[in-house]
Structure 1
Amino acid sequence: MSAFRFGVLAETAGSVDAVVATARRAEELGYDTVLLRDHFVPEPFGEQVAPLIALAAAAGATSRLGVGTLVLDNDYRHPVMLAKEAATLQQLSGGRFELGLGAGWLRVEYEAAGMAFDRAGVRVGRLEESVRVLKELFAGKEVRFEGEHYRVDGVTNFPPVERVPRLLVGAGSPRMLRLAGREADTVGILAKALPGGTISDAMEERLGAAFATKADLVRAEGRDVEISAVVSVELSDDPRVAAERFAIERGWGAGAADLVEDMPAKFLGPLDHVVELAHRRRERLGLSYLVVSDREFEAAAPMVKALTGR
């Protein structure tokens, strides 16, 4: 069973200085990583700095904190170039970089940049090949690869890496979950991406049963894989009141509070209650790497302190 880890998703940091400040504070509070998304249109997550460059600044401003992506869109970077950038960031950070990858899902972003938004099977197939190329390049091999999507003819990566970056794959659909189970060190479990180029907002996608099914698909590959999710932590006196408030905010009505309390990504209530939830969900679902938004990482710090190293 994996020990608990905690990350901060710096999604409101609109400048490199803000990313660095978040990283320094996250390190002070005992978090394990600071993470950045990979988007260049303002919706739905707001304006963002370039992730790999900003993470280099964060790594230079900290000494222990891991830096990572959650997640890079594979279609935005050729794996040969990504391997070089990742290896350089791994060297700069002293081995603290964690590479998060996904197949891409935000249609409006592709269209804004004039890029083809291929059907999901094509994008996932491209990611599968990219992971193979990246792993061979990180291993120091001269890579010759002929696939459906990539052709590499005699490239060796530089700089060499003493420690291969940890690989996280964000996944919500069965094929992606199986791919992540085969290839990743960490799987970030998500709601499924829809063919139209959005993420499902269905309540059912966020319930314990759906999460368990997805975790089972990951573990069916027979590897010891860390399970992660972006979670919300609200330390309050009454978990029921917090669940009702969240359900109302989402338009589900107060009667959906029971369902909210069943959502693995919701940690609502007093500190001892959320600590118990974390242990229970790790045992039942394998969920051990919890990522919180920078909007609430200060408030969630007591939970981090209570669970770090356990």
Structure 2
Amino acid sequence: MSAWKDRAARPFRFGVVAESARTAQEVTRLAVRAEELGYATLTLRDHHLTEPFGDQLAPMIALTAAALATRALRVGTLVLANDHRHPVMLAKEAATLDHVSGGRFELGIGAGWLREEYERAGMPFDPAGVRVGRLEESLRILRGLLRGEKTTFSGEHYSVRDLAVFPRPAQAPPLLVGAGAGRMLGIAGRHADIAGILPRALPDGTISEEISERMPDTIARKVDHVRRAAQEAGRDGVELSMLVSPTFGPDPRAAAARTAVLRGWGASSTDLVLDMPSQFVGPPEHIAEQMTARRERYGFTYYVVPDRAMERFAPVIDLLTSPSKPRDPRP
């Protein structure tokens, strides 16, 4: 309960997802600039198709380059598809990256959702229940190995006996689980250090574009699901995160109307966009106010923005994290 009681006191932090970087030089330049601007993390996705996010470098290798080019910036995955790697091999890669970075790695992982990616790679796209079950077993193995423990586990999908990982991580890398539906939200509450709240994945291998998935009551239910699962597991301190694409402009309402039209919801949805916990519109000062209010209402403190928005979003970071300015930007 304490994690949600004191949620307003948890400091903000911000990350960048490197969607446009196609070379090692672009990744390292982006990492250096993100650190200069005050971002806490640089993250990479985990896809081997061009669509829907553009061509991607292999995340663990590219993040190693980013870590070596920076001093304090944390690096992370947002998120790995569990089915792409056996958890033992992933644990060794994660431990090595954490070692190389001096304890600056965060491991984001999900069940996998992009059907076309599975099919074009010749991998079976199992029913959601199977993929989610594999993920939960994988998280249990990863948690033990990344704590430096000798791990034994026997489940339906994985079996590990008396195994430890080398090198020992500089830290126990925080685990982020991206979750949008009930069972995944429960897994995030039970196993994650960071819960990334998402729209739900659909059986056809896409992410829901339904406007209802983004409404305040829906987000509140998802947060409560994570909270209950964490409490039942005797855990607290789960950080709440969201990937957002802010829309800037002097007039919040006009910016919300643009967002509504671009997302295919229609201009009549402008008022709904203004209330969506995942939508931030207007000038930096207004976005900072929105984030402060939503921290108090839902508990979100870790926001990640696409690299195309990194420069324009930086003033929001300054408003919310600069020690020379009040933590709460509201008048």
TM-score surpassing 0.5?
A: yes
Match of residue 75, structure 1, among 52, 59, 83:
83
Report the alpha carbon displacement of residue 257 of structure 1 after superposing the two structures with TM: 0.3
Match of residue 62, structure 1, among 67, 70, 83:
70
Report the alpha carbon displacement of residue 186 of structure 1 after superposing the two structures with TM: 0.5
Report the alpha carbon displacement of residue 194 of structure 1 after superposing the two structures with TM: 0.5
Q: After the TM superposition, which parts of structure 1 deviate over 4 Å for at least 4 consecutive aligned residues?
A: none
Match of residue 235, structure 1, among 248, 263, 267:
248
- SS in structure 1 opposite 2:11? coil
Q: CA–CA distance in 2 between the matches of 1:111 and 1:31?
A: 36
Q: Which amino acid aligns with 1:298?
A: E
For residues 216-260 of structure 1, the C-alpha deviation after alignment (integer angstroms, 9 at most, x for no partner) is 111112222111001122332100001111111222221110011
- For 1:303, the equivalent position in structure 2 comes to 316
Q: CA–CA distance in 2 between the matches of 1:144 and 1:271?
A: 49
- For 2:148, the equivalent position in structure 1 comes to 140
Given that 1:79 and 1:133 are in contact with CA atoms closer than 8 Å, whether structure 2 keeps it comes out as yes
Q: CA–CA distance in 2 between the matches of 1:124 and 1:251?
A: 30
Given that 1:234 and 1:299 are in contact with CA atoms closer than 8 Å, whether structure 2 keeps it comes out as no
Q: CA–CA distance in 2 between the matches of 1:139 and 1:235?
A: 42
- For 1:219, the equivalent position in structure 2 comes to 227
Which has a greater percent of strand?
1
Q: CA–CA distance in 1 between the matches of 2:173 and 2:145?
A: 12
Report the alpha carbon displacement of residue 95 of structure 1 after superposing the two structures with TM: 0.4
Q: Within the alignment, does 1:251 sit opposite 2:264 as a pair?
A: yes
Report the alpha carbon displacement of residue 78 of structure 1 after superposing the two structures with TM: 0.5
Report the alpha carbon displacement of residue 151 of structure 1 after superposing the two structures with TM: 1.2
Identity %: 58
- For 1:186, the equivalent position in structure 2 comes to 194
Q: CA–CA distance in 2 between the matches of 1:253 and 1:131?
A: 40
TM-score (norm 2): 0.92
Q: CA–CA distance in 1 between the matches of 2:213 and 2:20?
A: 25
Report the alpha carbon displacement of residue 70 of structure 1 after superposing the two structures with TM: 0.2
How many residues are paired up? 310
Q: CA–CA distance in 2 between the matches of 1:138 and 1:251?
A: 43
Given that 2:176 and 2:195 are in contact with CA atoms closer than 8 Å, whether structure 1 keeps it comes out as yes
- For 2:4, the equivalent position in structure 1 comes to none
Q: CA–CA distance in 2 between the matches of 1:27 and 1:11?
A: 17
- SS in structure 2 opposite 1:198? coil
Q: How does 1:95-110 map to 2 (within 5 A)?
A: 95-110=103-118
5+ long unaligned stretches in structure 1 = none
Match of residue 127, structure 1, among 126, 132, 135:
135
For residues 16-56 of structure 1, the C-alpha deviation after alignment (integer angstroms, 9 at most, x for no partner) is 21111111110000000000000001111110000000000
Q: CA–CA distance in 2 between the matches of 1:190 and 1:283?
A: 19
Report the alpha carbon displacement of residue 152 of structure 1 after superposing the two structures with TM: 1.3
Q: CA–CA distance in 2 between the matches of 1:239 and 1:155?
A: 54
Given that 1:8 and 1:35 are in contact with CA atoms closer than 8 Å, whether structure 2 keeps it comes out as yes
For residues 110-139 of structure 1, the C-alpha deviation after alignment (integer angstroms, 9 at most, x for no partner) is 001110111111111101110111111122
Report the alpha carbon displacement of residue 207 of structure 1 after superposing the two structures with TM: 1.5
Given that 2:32 and 2:69 are in contact with CA atoms closer than 8 Å, whether structure 1 keeps it comes out as yes
Report the alpha carbon displacement of residue 13 of structure 1 after superposing the two structures with TM: 0.9
- SS in structure 1 opposite 2:244? strand
Q: Within the alignment, does 1:14 sit opposite 2:27 as a pair?
A: no
Q: CA–CA distance in 2 between the matches of 1:165 and 1:85?
A: 12
Report the alpha carbon displacement of residue 297 of structure 1 after superposing the two structures with TM: 0.7
Given that 1:99 and 1:168 are in contact with CA atoms closer than 8 Å, whether structure 2 keeps it comes out as yes
Q: CA–CA distance in 1 between the matches of 2:300 and 2:162?
A: 40
Q: CA–CA distance in 2 between the matches of 1:132 and 1:63?
A: 31
Report the alpha carbon displacement of residue 140 of structure 1 after superposing the two structures with TM: 2.3
Q: Which amino acid aligns with 2:51?
A: E
Q: Within the alignment, does 1:206 sit opposite 2:214 as a pair?
A: yes
Given that 2:102 and 2:170 are in contact with CA atoms closer than 8 Å, whether structure 1 keeps it comes out as no
Given that 1:236 and 1:270 are in contact with CA atoms closer than 8 Å, whether structure 2 keeps it comes out as yes
Q: Which amino acid aligns with 1:105?
A: W
Report the alpha carbon displacement of residue 302 of structure 1 after superposing the two structures with TM: 0.3
Match of residue 49, structure 2, among 21, 41, 55:
41
Deviates more, 1:8-17 or 1:47-56: 8-17
Q: CA–CA distance in 1 between the matches of 2:92 and 2:248?
A: 42
Q: CA–CA distance in 2 between the matches of 1:262 and 1:111?
A: 38
Deviates more, 1:28-37 or 1:227-236: 227-236
- For 2:170, the equivalent position in structure 1 comes to 162
Q: CA–CA distance in 2 between the matches of 1:153 and 1:274?
A: 50
For residues 127-186 of structure 1, the C-alpha deviation after alignment (integer angstroms, 9 at most, x for no partner) is 111011111112222222211000112321100123100110000000000110111111
Q: Which amino acid aligns with 1:23?
A: A
